[in-house]
Amino acid sequence: MAVAELSPSYKTQLNASRLSFLSTHVPIRRRFDVRPRPRHKRDGIYCSVTSNQIQAPVSIQTEQPNIKSECYGVFCLTYDLKAEEETKSWRKMVTVAVSGAAGMIANHLLFKLASGEVFGPDQPIALKLLGSERSFQALEGVAMELEDSLYPLLREVSIGIDPYDIFQDAEWALLIGAKPRGPGMERADLLDINGQIFAEQGKALNAVASRNVKVIVVGNPCNTNALICLKNAPNIPAKNFHALTRLDENRAKCQLALKAGVFYDKVSNVTIWGNHSTTQVPDFLNARINGLPVKEVIKDHKWLEEEFTEKVQKRGGVLIKKWGRSSAASTAVSIVDAIKSLITPTPKGDWFSSGVYTNGNPYSIAEDVVFSMPCRSEGDGDYELVKDVKFDDYLLTRLNKTMAELLAEKRCTAHLIGEGIAVCDLPEDTMLPGEM
């Protein structure tokens, strides 16, 4: 299945005895074994997991023809880490799988993950990058850039096109890859095409990922993709699945700060309710500026109800018009924020937004959908929904609209979640933030 490749630059650096060691004595072990290794042996960085269709040039033969995959490139090097005192205080490796890894968002995100910015300066990381035949070359390019960045914490990188390989033992799965909606494409078609991707990835996570994997779905339509993914992964707690609405929260905070003339760290308690679409509801009723209710600080309530809400809902589309492509850097930042919100205790009195499974929610939101709601975490990867939030007629009317949209998306993907035949009666104006 996998074909070994030694990147030419490394080939030239290796002396003959090392090469002969690699070609004959590479210990055959699981690629993603992250247990501490005796004698501080370290894998190289770059390992490829490919399917039969991908013809990577062969340069290392291990003489065991039945081996499904093997290390290659710099990933095959071994190092004596005895001298590296700092590694003694490092934590156990964390394994992070990323789909759409050759895409624009991933191109920002991967380097943040590898740098230690996300999981901390004592957290070694294994990155497992999922692409496709279409993107495999680009994926190799991404892996090469990761190699060349010499991140001390980045201990393993593997690339591949089979989610059953790439999701093996994943503790985090950041699902970014999804087909963009092309001109003339019906939203129902988009839901179906992407839904199939997420159904397959849900099955793969169910089969091979860590039982406590945390899944953040970014690829759009992310709420319904997350629902499809979790429904296809019955052995993983539904609570572990998130749809990314943190970018919307960040956008809302920015607009409120701008209007109030304060720096955005003064804005707290911002909830995005519902779907990551133009029906999303940025909640200014419960949000605070300098600890005060937003409505006491921003007296222009018409602006809040009309301009602010629409600005947040359509920010993605305005940016696409200016930039010519959708938000990538700020999305990557918001994925980092979303992860950090789960692995660090939420500041007292505050909360964060995430699209999560609605079963058991205290707000009377329909069960069995993925809906963005206010969450708090102890920093253990888990979260609880915030109970003390207020509702008024304005908020409730909009909550009902975004809920109706999500229920329609769910009906439209019934065939992917084991609920029979799909019926697509999506509201006409169902749009992603980037579509306008």
Ligand X SMILES: NC(=O)C1=CN([C@@H]2O[C@H](COP(=O)(O)OP(=O)(O)OC[C@H]3O[C@@H](n4cnc5c(N)ncnc54)[C@H](OP(=O)(O)O)[C@@H]3O)[C@@H](O)[C@H]2O)C=CC1
Ligand Y SMILES: O=C([O-])CC(=O)C(=O)O
Give the interface with ligand X as residue ranges (CB under 6 A).
100, 102-105, 131-132, 134-135, 176-180, 193, 197, 218-220, 222, 244, 247, 276, 326-328, 331
Set 108, 276, 301, 415: catalytic member = 276
Q: Tell the smallest beta-carbon distance from residue 222 to ligand Y (Å).
A: 8
Q: Tell the smallest beta-carbon distance from residue 184 to ligand Y (Å).
A: 16
Q: Which residue's CB is nearer to ligand Y, number 174 or number 432? A: 432
Q: Which residue's CB is nearer to ligand X, number 6 or number 328? A: 328
135, interface contact from ligand X, ligand Y, none, CB < 5-8 Å by kind: ligand X
160, interface contact from ligand Y, ligand X, none, CB < 5-8 Å by kind: none
30, interface contact from ligand Y, ligand X, none, CB < 5-8 Å by kind: none
Contacts of the segment 314-317: beta carbons below 8 A, 24+ positions apart: 314/278, 314/433, 314/436, 315/248, 315/251, 315/433, 316/247, 316/432, 316/433, 316/434, 317/431, 317/433, 317/434, 317/435, 317/436
Q: Tell the smallest beta-carbon distance from residue 139 to ligand X (Å).
A: 7
432 contributes a contact to ligand Y by CB under 6 A:
yes
Instruction: Give per-residue burial for 301-329: e unless 16+ CB within 10 Å, then b.
Output: eeebeeebbebbbbbbbebbeeeeebbbe
434 contributes a contact to ligand Y by CB under 6 A:
yes
> How many of the chain's residues bind ligand Y (CB under 6 A)?
9
Beta bridge partners of residue 216, listed in sequence order: 174, 242
Residue 93, classified by CB atoms within 10 Å of its CB into exposed (0-12), middle (13-18) or buried (19+), is buried
355, interface contact from ligand Y, ligand X, none, CB < 5-8 Å by kind: none
What the block records as the tokens of 301 is 């309530």
End-to-end, the C-alpha distance of the chain in Å comes to: 44
Q: Which residue's CB is nearer to ligand X, number 297 or number 342? A: 342
Stretch that binds ligand Y, among 37-45, 148-156, 168-176, 428-436 (CB under 6 A): 428-436
- Ranked by CB distance to ligand X, the top (closest) residue is 103
304, interface contact from ligand Y, ligand X, none, CB < 5-8 Å by kind: none
287, interface contact from ligand Y, ligand X, none, CB < 5-8 Å by kind: none
Q: Which residue's CB is nearer to ligand Y, number 220 or number 413? A: 220
Say how far apart CA 216 and CA 219 lie, in whole Å. 9
274, interface contact from ligand X, ligand Y, none, CB < 5-8 Å by kind: none
Instruction: Give per-residue burial for 167-187: e unless 16+ CB within 10 Å, then b.
Output: bbbbbbbbbbbbeebeeeeeb
CA 236 from chain centre, in angstroms, equals: 17
State whether the Cα torsion 404-406-408-411 is positive or negative: negative
The helix/strand count (H/E) of the chain reads as 13, 15
Q: Which of 77, 109, 127, 247 binds ligand Y (CB under 6 A)?
A: 247
50 contributes a contact to ligand Y by CB under 6 A:
no
Q: Which of 243, 205, 248 is nearest to 226 (CA)?
A: 243
252 contributes a contact to ligand Y by CB under 6 A:
no
Q: Tell the smallest beta-carbon distance from residue 206 to ligand X (Å).
A: 20
105, interface contact from ligand Y, ligand X, none, CB < 5-8 Å by kind: ligand X
108 tagged catalytic: no
Say how far apart CA 28 and CA 35 lie, in whole Å. 15
Q: Which of 220, 271, 309, 313 binds ligand Y (CB under 6 A)?
A: 220
State whether the Cα torsion 341-342-344-347 is positive or negative: positive
Q: Tell the smallest beta-carbon distance from residue 403 to ligand Y (Å).
A: 19
Classified as helix, coil or strand, 287 is coil
Q: Tell the smallest beta-carbon distance from residue 247 to ligand Y (Å).
A: 6
Q: Tell the smallest beta-carbon distance from residue 205 to ligand X (Å).
A: 16
State whether the Cα torsion 397-220-338-434 is positive or negative: negative
How many residues comprise the chain? 436
Q: How far is CA 54 from CA 2, 4, 65, in A?
A: 9, 11, 17
3-state helix, strand, coil split of the chain in percent (to 5) is 40, 15, 45
Stretch that binds ligand Y, among 98-106, 227-235, 303-311, 426-434 (CB under 6 A): 426-434
Give, as ranges, the residues between 316 and 345 that touch ligand Y (CB under 6 A). 316, 326-327
Q: Tell the smallest beta-carbon distance from residue 254 to ligand Y (Å).
A: 13
Residues that bind ligand Y (CB under 6 A): 220, 247, 316, 326-327, 432-435
- Which positions are annotated as active-site residues? 276
